[in-house]
C-alpha cells in the first residue's frame, strides 16, 4: 500500500511532463506560424509599396508625356511641312505681301532636327517688315539665320516694292507623343500584382 502515494506522484509527474511537451510543441508551432504571418505581412507591405511606386511612376510618365506633347506644339511635325509652308504664304497674303518658298532642307541637329527655309517676301516696306515679324515670332522654335532687304522700284523709299531674302531655321518633331493606354497600364498593374 505504500506504493499508492508514489503512484499518484508518478502519474502526476507523467501528466505534467506530457502537458509540458504538448505546451512546448504548441508554442513552437505558434512561433512558426507567427513567423510565417510576419513574413507574409512583409511581402504584402513590399507589394503594396511596389504598387504605389508603380502608380506614382505611371502618373509621372503621363505628366511628362503631357508636357512633352505641349512642348511638341512649338515644333513643326515632319508630316506637316507642306501645311506649315502654306501657312507662311497665307500669313504673307493676309499682310499684303507675296511669300515665295525658295528652298527647304532638313538639318540634323541635337536634340531636335531643324528645317532650313529660304524665303523671298515681296511687297510694300511696311507689309514686308510685318510679314518678317509674323514669321519670326510665330509660335514655333524659329531662329532667323540671315535677312537681306532690297528695293525693286520707286525712288528707294518705302513706297516702292521691296524684297526680303530670309533664311531661317525651324525646329521639327517626328511625331506627337502619346500617353500609355489604360489597357496597357492595367495589364502591367496586373502583372506587377501577380508577381
Question: Which of 62, 22, 49 is CA-nearest to residue 182?
Answer: 62
Query: Which domain range does residue 115 map to?
Result: 76-173
Claim: this prediction has a pTM higher than 0.85:
no
Write out the three cell numbers for 60: 509621372
pLDDT at 159: 62
Cα separation values, 148 from 1, 132, 157, 164, 165, Å: 134, 11, 16, 6, 5
Closest Cα partner for 133 from 92, 100, 170?
92
The reported pLDDT for the residue numbered 156 is 54
Query: How confident is the model over 34-71, as pLDDT tens digits?
Result: 999 999 999 999 999 999 999 999 999 999 888 887 88
Asked if the model's pLDDT at residue 115 lies above 50, the reply is yes
Q: Provide the pLDDT for residue 186.
A: 45
Residue 86 lies in a domain: yes
- Better pLDDT: 126 or 69: 126
How many domains does the chain contain in total? 2
| % of the chain residues with pLDDT over 90 | 54
Count CB atoms within 10 A of the CB of residue 71.
12
Confidence at residue 179, expressed as pLDDT on a 0 to 100 scale: 47
Arithmetic mean of pLDDT, 125-138:
92
If asked whether residues 80 and 164 sit together in one domain, one would say yes
One-letter-per-residue 3-state SS of the chain: CCHHHHHHHHHHHHHHHHHHHHHHHHHHHHHHHHHHHHHHHHHHHHHHHHHHHHHHHHHHHHHHHHHHHHHHCCCEEHHHHHHHHHHHHHHHHHCCCEEEEEEEEEECCCCCCEEEEEEEEEEEHHHHHHHHHHHHCCCCCEEEEEEEEEECCCCCCCCCEEEEEEEEEEEEECCCCCCCCHHHHHHHHHHHHHC
Q: Do 147 and 66 share a structural domain?
A: no
Domain assignment present for 31: yes
- Tens digit of pLDDT for each residue in 169-186? 998 887 544 444 444 444
| CATH number for 145 | 3.30.70.60
Verify that 32 and 81 share a domain, yes or no: no
Amino acid at each position: 500500500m505504500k506504493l499508492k502515494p508514489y503512484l499518484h506522484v508518478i502519474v502526476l509527474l507523467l501528466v505534467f511532463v506530457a502537458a509540458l511537451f504538448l505546451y512546448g510543441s504548441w508554442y513552437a508551432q505558434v512561433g512558426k506560424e507567427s513567423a510565417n504571418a510576419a513574413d507574409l505581412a512583409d511581402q504584402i507591405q513590399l507589394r503594396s509599396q511596389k504598387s504605389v511606386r508603380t502608380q506614382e511612376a505611371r502618373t509621372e510618365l503621363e505628366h511628362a508625356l503631357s508636357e512633352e506633347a505641349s512642348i511638341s506644339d512649338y515644333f513643326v511635325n515632319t508630316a506637316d511641312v507642306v501645311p506649315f509652308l502654306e501657312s507662311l504664304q497665307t500669313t504673307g497674303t493676309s499682310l499684303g505681301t507675296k511669300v515665295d518658298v525658295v528652298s527647304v532642307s532638313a538639318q540634323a541637329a541635337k536634340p531636335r532636327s531643324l528645317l532650313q527655309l529660304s524665303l523671298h517676301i515681296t511687297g510694300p516696306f511696311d507689309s514686308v517688315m510685318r510679314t518678317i515679324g509674323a514669321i519670326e515670332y510665330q509660335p514655333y522654335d524659329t531662329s532667323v539665320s540671315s535677312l537681306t532687304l532690297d528695293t525693286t522700284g520707286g525712288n528707294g523709299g518705302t513706297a516702292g516694292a521691296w524684297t526680303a531674302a530670309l533664311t531661317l531655321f525651324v525646329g521639327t518633331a517626328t511625331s506627337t507623343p502619346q500617353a500609355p493606354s489604360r489597357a496597357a497600364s492595367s495589364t502591367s498593374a496586373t502583372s506587377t500584382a501577380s508577381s
